[in-house]
Amino acid sequence: MTAKEIIEILDAEIICRDDLLDTELHTACGSDMMSDVLAFVKEQAVLLTGLVNPQVVRTAEMMDMHCIVFVRGKRPNIDMIHLAEDRDMIMLCTKLEMFTACGKLYEAGLRGGSGK
């Protein structure tokens, strides 16, 4: 699935790096706890979260993730956007709640990865 398809499925808004929307993304995880993301995620490309602080971008960076989707209409601040832009990370924003957003993506074929 491409980031472009994720935008359609979640009716999402692009926050940054619209030049990377053809990136193929095969796996995802949804969490508001960054320690859990760091503990259980492997080879995952998309992070869905309702948490808004720079550590979301740092966590995604450490895990080599390519796309962050903010759920429940949450919006990153300008510092977070700059951090993501520098790290070639796509940022999207959807009004959907976490459960619904994850469910829609799963239904469309996006899967979770296995933990280490």
Partner 1 sequence: MESIKLHYDISATDFTRAGAASGDVKRVLKELGVAPATIRNVAVAMYEGEINMVIHAGGGEIDVEITEDAIQMILTDHGPGIENVELAMKEGYSTAPDNIRCLGFGAGMGLPNIKKYSDEFRIDTELGVGTTLTLKVYMS
Minimal distance, residue 57 CB to partner 1, in Å: 9
Minimal distance, residue 108 CB to partner 1, in Å: 26
Q: Which amino acid is at 30?
A: G
Q: How far apart are CA 103 and CA 99, in angstroms?
A: 6
Q: How far apart are CA 116 and CA 40, in angstroms?
A: 6
Q: Does 79 bind partner 1 (CB under 8 A)?
A: yes
Region 29-68 residues binding partner 1, contact defined as CB under 8 A:
32-36, 38-39, 49, 51, 53-56, 58-59, 61-64
Minimal distance, residue 43 CB to partner 1, in Å: 9
Q: How far apart are CA 3 and CA 115, in angstroms?
A: 23
Using only C-alpha atoms, what is the Rg of the chain?
A: 12
Q: Which residues bind partner 1 (CB under 8 A)?
A: 32-36, 38-39, 49, 51, 53-56, 58-59, 61-64, 79, 87, 116
